[in-house]
A and B are shown apart, each in its own frame.
Chain A
Amino acid sequence: MGQSLFIGEKLTCIRGGRTVFAGLDLSIGKGEVLVLEGPNGSGKSSLIRLLSGLIRPRNGSLFWQGQDATREPEIYQQKIHYIGHRNAIKPVLTVLENLGYWAGCSPKKSQDLSGLEQALDQFNMLSLKDTPANLLSSGQSRRLTLSRLLATDKPLWLLDEPSVGLDVSSVALLETAIRRHREKGGAVILATHTAIDLDSPKRMNLSDFSPLYNTSLLQQESLEESWI
């Protein structure tokens, strides 16, 4: 456990009065990939948002490199990339400008510019760099969003359905990016429905922790004792 980058213990998430998952443990170390599986509504997106610190767990703890980060996700939030369902692209800005504001640097500076261009190049978007984002197709928008992963270097990637809208060759680009990230000691947690070819991933099925699918969890929580 000591070498683990990020650990979640006994995580419970309640959304809109309904228990999404309960008693979930996970850990991820350097160079590892964790694939979250499970049917719709089993809480994959909720778990990824919870791990990113966007939502707080009702119960359980999060540890970043051994440090308790449950109450202050700020201590690790700068060290993760979170990619959600929405692309966070501003249609009136160009591809390069969008990427620049995410990376927190200006495309006008030459040393920053080369980093941004390299990131775009790896997702095959360099030729579109001065195109306004409102002209992009959905696959191109997704690739622009993914190129954010490479524009700034962060040890942990949290990816929620990263391959949505991508064609086969673009998925291959994502696979390459993940492989290189792992070679550098990075870690990835991702939720996906489509087949992404990854080298020896850890897998976790969320329906094991969801009261919807695992009825033994339902009994743990007494109806009489809860407020809402």
Chain B
Amino acid sequence: MSVFHRFANPNRFLKLTNTVLPWVSGLTAISLLAGLYMAFFTSPADYQQGESVRIMYVHVPAAWMAMFVYSSIAFASICALIWRHPLADLAAKASAPIGAGFTFLALATGALWGKPMWGAWWVWDARLTSVLILFFLYLGHMALMNAFEDQERGNRAAAVLAIVGFINVPIIKFSVDWWNTLHQPASVMRMDGPSIDPSMLWPLLVMGVAFKLFYLVVLLIRIKSELIEAKLRKYRRALVDNA
């Protein structure tokens, strides 16, 4: 409990958020611009894939974020269930749509990339399929969270689901890899080779940092608006009760 006591007051949290937010937003803008510049101008076109390789600088960080945000939700859910701190619930709730957005972005860019490479918008590639299932996990999580009259109950049910889903992610990943190698012996293209050239690695890493910062910005804004909404609800209720 003591870990959270520092933020135990929503007003203190809001104040902290307001100080931090401009800085993080600025850093996000800088790293995003730098990353995009490197991706578009300083990195070379691939000798096989041509210019379409540049999709990678959005696709790969988005796929990283898909898993990163899901892990964050699972972590927040564990905190929410053990310490019952509302901030953890809020963080999980605010993260889910962002993570689903990143996952969708990874799927969409994967399809765009796949069209020139494979000649099809969708192939049942092991990675893409795993990301697709992760997307379904996100959808289930969000649907469950919003399925109850009592928001608190929705939060807690979704927390249990997130933890169960998180335990299952490696199992799903493993089984999809198994299934894919069985049915499709050789992948047409590897999305990231182990020996990636530094001229491509750097823009990728910068974009990865930019995406993480972007997540933080949106997360803080969403938690903030949830808090303000809760406060409004509370005041309205007090008005009704006092009347």
Q: Report if A and B touch in the complex (beta carbons < 8 A).
A: yes
Q: Give the number of residues in A that approach B within 8 Å (Cβ atoms).
A: 14
Q: Is the CB of B152 within 8 A of A225?
A: no
A224 near B11 (CB under 8 angstroms)? Answer: yes
Given contacts A16-B149, A17-B237, A18-B237, contact A227 B227 (CB under 8 A): yes
- B48-56, B130-138, B228-236: which lies at the interface: B228-236
* Interchain CB contact under 8 A, A16 and B150: yes
Q: Check A227 against B241 for contact (C-beta < 8 Å).
A: no
Could you tell me the distance between the alpha carbons of A164 and B90 in the complex, rounded to whole angstroms?
41
Q: How large is the interface on B (under 10, 10 to 19, 20 to 34, 35 or more residues)?
A: 20 to 34
Find out whether the CB atom of A211 lies under 8 angstroms from the CB atom of B234: no
Measured CA separation A15–B233 after assembly (Å): 15
Given contacts A17-B237, A212-B241, contact A225 B231 (CB under 8 A): no
Contact B234 A223 (CB under 8 A): yes
Contact with B along A16-32 (1 / 0, CB 8 A): 11100000000000000
Given the interface contacts A224-B11, A228-B230, does A215 sit within 8 Å of B86 by beta carbon? Answer: no
Secondary structure dominating the interface of A? loop
Whole-angstrom distance between the alpha carbons of A215 and B11 in the complex?
25
Tell me if B10 counts as interface (CB < 8 A to partner A).
Answer: yes
* Beta-carbon nearest neighbor of B87 in chain A: A227
Give 1 or 0 for each of A28-64: 1 = CB within 8 Å of chain B CB: 0000000000000000000000000000000000000
The smallest beta-carbon distance between B197 and chain A, in angstroms, is 49
Residue of A nearest to B233 (CB): A17
Known contacts A16-B149, A17-B152: does B234 contact A226 (CB below 8 Å)?
Answer: yes
Complex: A73 Cα to B10 Cα, angstroms: 31
Shortest C-beta distance, A65 to chain B (Å), equals: 27
A18 contacts which chain B residues (CB < 8 A)?
A: 237
- Binary contact track A124-167/B, C-beta < 8 Å → 1, others 0: 00000000000000000000000000000000000000000000
**Min distance, Cβ B227 to any Cβ of chain A, angstroms:** 7
Contact B230 A227 (CB under 8 A): yes
Give the chain A neighbours of B196 by CB distance below 8 A: none
For A56, give the chain B residue with the smallest CB separation. B84
Say yes or no: A227-B10 contact (C-beta < 8 A), given A16-B152, A17-B152, A218-B241.
yes
Counting chain A CB atoms within 10 Å of each CB, which of B10, B230, B234, B235 scores highest? B234
Q: Of all chain B residues, which has the CB nearest A211?
A: B241
Q: Complex Cα distance A228/B151, Å?
A: 10
Residues of A within 8 A of B (CB): 15-18, 211-212, 215, 218, 223-228
Interface residues of B (CB under 8 A from A): 9-11, 86-87, 90, 149-152, 227, 230-231, 233-235, 237-238, 241-242
Give 30 CB contacts A-B under 8 Å.
A15-B150, A16-B149, A16-B150, A16-B152, A17-B151, A17-B152, A17-B233, A17-B237, A18-B237, A211-B241, A212-B241, A218-B241, A218-B242, A223-B231, A223-B235, A223-B238, A224-B10, A225-B9, A225-B10, A225-B11, A226-B234, A227-B86, A227-B90, A227-B227, A227-B230, A228-B86, A228-B151, A228-B152, A228-B230, A228-B234
Q: Which 5 A-B pairs have the closest CB atoms?
A: A227-B86, A16-B150, A228-B230, A227-B10, A228-B86
Additional A-B contact list (5), CB under 8 Å, known A227-B10, A227-B227: A17-B151, A212-B241, A218-B241, A223-B234, A225-B10
